[in-house]
Amino acid sequence: MTEFTRRDFIGVAAATTLLPRVSYAQSSQVIVGTWGGDYGDLLREGVDQAIMVPQGIEVLQDVSGPVPRRTKLMAERQNRRGSMDVACLADFDMFTATELGALEELDEQNVPRMGNVFPFLRKSHSIPQIYSAHTIVYNTDRITTPPKSIHDLWDPKYRGKVGLSDFLFTTNTAFAAIAGGGSMTDFAPAKKKLMEWRSLDAKVLASTEAVAAAFKSEEIWMTIIAAARGYMWNEAGIPLGHVIAEEGAFPTVYEAAVPRNARNKENGLKYLDAMLEPAAQTAFAAKMGYVPTVSDAILDPELDKRINFTEAEKERFWRPDFAYLAKYQAEMLDFWNRDFKG
């Protein structure tokens, strides 16, 4: 009969506790914290199935809204192991996560395709996956002369016909700040312009979907929203166009990063690289109207004309100061809720 001493027992027990970790580390899996809907589907088709699965890596989507995902990233940052290998978030949320040291540093060594990213979108701890700009989107049937300036949003001839998404209070406040003579680090002038909007009966719409419905019913003729949204709704049959005003527009970038405590860091980095592949990028452009972030993703000329921005337009993009936005966001929401909407 085999002798089983106390020492053997402790040894086996210790080895057993290591087993799950070893198998976890070796498993070819990557957990991607992402949005669902079209976004999740496009990732599944263009990245998961097309690039990751052929490499023998299984992709599990952890679908949620951005708020729980951001919160999870923040709350887990002190843990030895996080629950996501890739986190997809908008630029503002990603900035906060970067500042808190929650993300792995990226460069061409660990994400080779970072070299193809447009310099103006490049960051140290995240990849820009897709981008567009929050700008003036308008009904082309009702407004036959395209707006040129953001001041057109305050033109009395559009009284009651300007809609503002409640969800985009930061962007709307940024436009009001610029119109009032402020800058990306001085939103104080926004207050006066927001109250002017109020006196011009600007409509506050509860959600992005409500903006689409208001455009469809012609309750509104003009709004501030991502040019990509304008494209999507245009594809759905609403006569819409967009302009980058002479004062500029507010860029919006959807990004992805690998948490520092990711269990499958290597696979996470491979996933980021795959997200930057031209085929994956162009699929998002065709379906959602967001512009590729890499120089070698070539769009169909017709699509490019509708969703992309000229060099002159890109030059006019504002450079949001995320530290300033983070510091004053609560104050902005307070003013938006109690004074502008109240």
DSSP 8-state assignment for residue 125: S
Q: Does 159 bind other proteins (CB under 8 A)?
A: no
Residue of the chain from 74, 90, 195, 200 that contacts other proteins (CB under 8 A): 74
Taking CB under 8 A as the rule, which mask of x and - marks residues 217-236 in contact with other proteins?
Answer: x-x-----------------
Q: Which residues contact 85 (CB under 8 A, 6 or more apart)?
A: 29, 30, 31, 32, 258, 259, 262, 263, 264, 265, 267, 268, 271
Alpha-carbon 203 to chain mean position: 25
Cβ contact 114:107 at 8 Å? yes
Q: Does 200 bind other proteins (CB under 8 A)?
A: no
Q: If you write DSSP's letter for every residue of 30-55 in order, what string do you get?
A: EEEEE--HHHHHHHIIIIIIIIIGGG
Cβ contact 101:77 at 8 Å? yes
Q: Does 329 bind other proteins (CB under 8 A)?
A: yes
Q: Does 237 bind other proteins (CB under 8 A)?
A: no
Beta carbon of residue 67, minimum distance to other proteins (angstroms, whole number): 5
Q: Does 79 bind other proteins (CB under 8 A)?
A: no
Q: If you write DSSP's letter for every residue of 193-220 in order, what string do you get?
A: HHHHHHHTTPEEESSHHHHHHHHHTTS-
Beta carbon of residue 136, minimum distance to other proteins (angstroms, whole number): 20
Q: Does 333 bind other proteins (CB under 8 A)?
A: yes
Q: Does 330 bind other proteins (CB under 8 A)?
A: yes
What is the rounded distance in angstroms from the CA atom of residue 147 to the CA atom of residue 129? 29
Name the one range near other proteins by CB under 8 A: 135-143, 147-155, 176-184, 323-331: 323-331
Number of other residues whose CB lies within 10 A of the CB of residue 237 = 8
Beta carbon of residue 263, minimum distance to other proteins (angstroms, whole number): 24
Cβ contact 175:224 at 8 Å? yes
Q: Which is nearer to other proteins, 221 or 328 (CB)?
A: 328
Q: Which is nearer to other proteins, 271 or 336 (CB)?
A: 336
Q: Does 134 bind other proteins (CB under 8 A)?
A: no
Q: Which is nearer to other proteins, 21 or 341 (CB)?
A: 341
Residue of the chain from 130, 205, 225, 258 that contacts other proteins (CB under 8 A): 205
Q: Which residues contact 134 (CB under 8 A, 6 or more apart)?
A: 168, 171, 224, 225, 226, 249, 250, 251, 252
Beta carbon of residue 172, minimum distance to other proteins (angstroms, whole number): 12
Assign residue 37 a region (left: φ > 0; alpha: ψ between -120 and 50; beta: otherwise).
Answer: left
Q: Does 337 bind other proteins (CB under 8 A)?
A: yes
Residues 96-115 that bind other proteins (CB under 8 A): 96, 99-100
Quote the tokens at residue 214. 């208001």
Q: Which is nearer to other proteins, 233 or 322 (CB)?
A: 322
Query: What are the residues binding other proteins (CB under 8 A)?
Result: 67, 70-71, 74, 96, 99-100, 166, 169, 204-206, 217, 219, 323, 326-330, 333-334, 337-338, 341-342
